[in-house]
Amino acid sequence: MRAKQKPLRTAALTLVLLMMALLPWDGAIAHPLKFIPTGSDFAIWEWHGANKCNEIHADVAYDEDENQYLVVFDWDLNGSGNHDIMAVSITAGGQLVGYTPTTIYAGSEDDSHPAIARDPNGNGYLVVWQRRNAGDEYDIYGCVISDTIGAPFAIATWSGHQLYPDVAYATATSRYLVVWEDHWTGWSTPPEIYGVSLDSARTDVQYMSITDPDAAGDQTHPAVTTNGFNYRWLVTWQDSRNSSTTGYDIYGQAVSFLGGTLALEGSTIPIGVLPGYASAPAVSWGQVDPSASAYGEYLVVWPESGTLYGQRVDGQDHSLVAGSIAVSDYSSSKYDPAIVYATESEAWWVVWQDNRDYG
């Protein structure tokens, strides 16, 4: 996901959708539009204490059994510069469950940029985040939330910086895949995308490099989603290997879990290689036209040079389906897309931050 993608930075955590486009499965844009809400926007959580406090970097997952959402975010309640990871449960009707946010982790460290995915088999959620340690480097931590909040556990704590985690759960494998941007060789060499697959009980944990450590350029800002009907995930990222010709591009890699082994499937996929500066992508999977294929398609979206682009990727062989499309080519700056597939309407909903009405 991170289809989650990057949240809107606001002084208070609110549900705000700036711009939206509906894309039917055939790839045509039905209509870019200003979002027409079913009700007024509402604050999920806004701190009113003596200390000013920003709630930022939000992500959300849905529990279909309870028909409610779990929103995670980070805040700096005491103004110390060290953020904590918090969570708020919201009903499908937009009502807060409980009276205060739940603390996922609050310690002396700086914890931020959470991401969340749900295990629909009744094993709760996995929340992952980045933590600045005592050596001023960033690590990746996580915890499982079910009936209780589990103890935080280390996911990636080796040397260098591990940043911007994302997570997706594959029902077919009963496993999570966590991915992040890894600077383990230091700032003087290009970062790569690294990942780990684990089950909810963490009895089987497997690490691997998603991108080639010897690849040219920087591989950064990963986003991951899962194919609902096979043993695969698709990981996408921003890539500068062609910076001298096409600038920053979007690449991807299929990852599978077959025979008890995490593995790369096929070659690196050049998803969006266009002249311009492509920013962090978002990705989602949908079972489009189930009569034709149970494998469905992925849709990857990203901002580039003022246009929000989309590219369909086949859910079985990971080939590109037709060419890239302009989700929105309105003359404005676009940031932080997020995407989700709506099964009933067989369409992807894409939202993003847009400055067309600035000033």
Residue boundaries of the structural domains of the chain: 13-354
Lowest mean pLDDT, pick from 24-33, 132-141, 174-183: 24-33
- pLDDT over 70 (residue 327): yes
Structure tokens at 285: 């999977």
pLDDT in tens, 68-114: 999 999 988 777 778 899 898 988 877 888 767 788 888 888 999 99
Q: Which long-range contacts (CB under 8 A, 24 or more apart) does 315-323 make?
A: 315/227, 315/229, 315/230, 315/232, 315/285, 316/230, 317/266, 318/234, 318/252, 318/254, 318/265, 318/266, 318/269, 320/269, 320/271, 321/27, 321/297, 322/27
- pLDDT over 70 (residue 8): no
Q: What is the reported pTM?
A: 0.88
SS3 content of the chain, % helix, strand, coil (to 5): 0, 55, 45
The DSSP line for 275-292 is: SEEB---EEEEE--STTT
Mean pLDDT of 35-56: 64
pLDDT of residue 19: 54
pLDDT in tens, 177-225: 999 999 987 777 789 999 999 988 889 999 999 999 888 999 999 999 9
Q: Is 267 or 18 the better-scoring residue by pLDDT?
A: 267
- pLDDT over 60 (residue 142): yes
Structure tokens at 52: 């000013």
Q: How many CB atoms lie within 10 A of CB 124?
A: 19
Whole-number average pLDDT of the chain: 84
CATH architecture of the region 13-354: 6 Propeller (2.120)
pLDDT of residue 319: 95
pLDDT of residue 51: 62
Q: Are 316 and 258 in contact (CB under 8 A)?
A: no
pLDDT of residue 40: 59
